[in-house]
């Protein structure tokens, strides 16, 4: 009965709040979160004049938002690896003469890889969706609600769209280890300009497994990346 109650909560939350992770739901209670989301929809947050001035002052300092890293001319593809809940300190760490993260270490040493090992997490209620939103747009997420709930129905000037407009990289693919409804990924693909998605069921079917891990995801992605033309993949 207890497990059935948990499952019932999950079904209720999936149908009412676009399949946000169950942990968020359980920590607060599905009814409470549903009421809070309803409140946010009915009474949207509006910026004060002071907040608008603060934002305008911040975005005018464009020199703080540029990177000295440039793309080598021979690099035609853009591949982003977004690691869930990964702290940067194990990268480069050696224990008992063995590297903790040998694969990531090799990527960091590659001159064609842009590695940023000094990142402070700024995700809020949107969790994984917020992390992807930051990477795709270079923007901070909303603090008072899951960002995807407010931007899933608009067109964003996101990384996939910029790569197509500026570099002609028209093929964009995303591999996710969850259902397409998680964090409204189906809708966010359209908002970001991502044209093709492989999700949990695709990987499970190809790998003939019910439970998947990082190795299965990378193996599947390697087999399904079309490297004959320029691409963007995450």
Q: What was the pLDDT predicted at 49?
A: 93
Q: Kindly tell me the number of DSSP H helices and DSSP E strands found in the chain.
A: 11, 6
pLDDT-based confidence at 166, cuts 50/70/90?
Answer: confident
The most confident of the ranges 66-70, 82-86, 150-154, 227-231 is 150-154
Decide: 161 and 139 in contact? Cβ < 8 Å: no
Question: Using one digit for the tens of pLDDT, what is the confidence trace for 38-77?
Answer: 777 787 778 899 999 888 887 766 665 566 666 677 767 8
Q: Which of 174, 177, 172, 171 is nearest to 207 (CA)?
A: 177
Helix runs in the chain, H state only: 2-16, 22-28, 30-42, 49-59, 102-109, 127-137, 148-151, 159-167, 185-192, 200-207, 214-224
Residues in CB range of 142: below 8 A, 6 or more apart: 124, 125, 126, 150
pLDDT at residue number 19: 47
In the structure, what pLDDT confidence band is assigned to residue 220 with cuts at 50, 70 and 90? very high
Average pLDDT score over residue span 23-31: 65
Distance CA 205, CA 223 (A): 14
- Would you say 13 and 30 are in contact if contact means Cβ atoms under 8 Å apart? yes
The CA distance from 218 to 177, in Å, is: 10
With CA atoms as reference, report the closest residue to 184 among 139, 233, 148.
Answer: 148
In this predicted structure, the answer to whether residue 210 has a pLDDT above a threshold of 80 is yes
76-98 tens-digit pLDDT: 788 888 887 777 788 889 999 99
Q: For residues 32 and 84, give the distance between their C-alpha atoms in angstroms, rounded to a whole number.
A: 27
């Amino acid at each position: 009965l207890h497990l059935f109650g948990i499952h019932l909560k999950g079904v209720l939350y999936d149908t009412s709040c676009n399949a946000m992770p169950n942990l968020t739901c359980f920590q607060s209670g599905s009814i409470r979160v549903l009421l809070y989301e309803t409140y946010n929809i009915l009474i949207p947050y509006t910026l004060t004049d002071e907040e608008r001035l603060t934002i305008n002052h911040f975005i005018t300092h464009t020199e703080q938002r540029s990177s000295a890293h440039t793309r080598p001319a021979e690099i035609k593809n853009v591949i982003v690896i977004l690691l869930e809940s990964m702290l940067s300190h194990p990268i480069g760490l050696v224990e008992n003469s063995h590297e903790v993260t040998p694969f990531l270490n090799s990527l960091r040493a590659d001159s064609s890889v842009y590695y940023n090992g000094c990142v402070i997490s700024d995700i809020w209620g949107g969790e994984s969706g917020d992390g992807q939103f930051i990477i795709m747009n270079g923007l901070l997420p909303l603090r008072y609600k899951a960002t995807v709930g407010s931007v899933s129905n608009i067109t964003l000037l996101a990384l996939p769209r910029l790569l197509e407009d500026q570099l002609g990289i028209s093929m964009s693919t995303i591999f996710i280890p969850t259902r397409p409804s998680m964090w409204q990924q189906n809708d966010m693909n359209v908002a970001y300009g991502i044209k093709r998605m492989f999700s949990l069921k695709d990987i499970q079917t190809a790998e003939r497994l019910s439970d998947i891990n990082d190795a299965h995801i990378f193996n599947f992605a390697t087999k399904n990346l079309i490297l004959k033309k320029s691409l963007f993949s995450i």
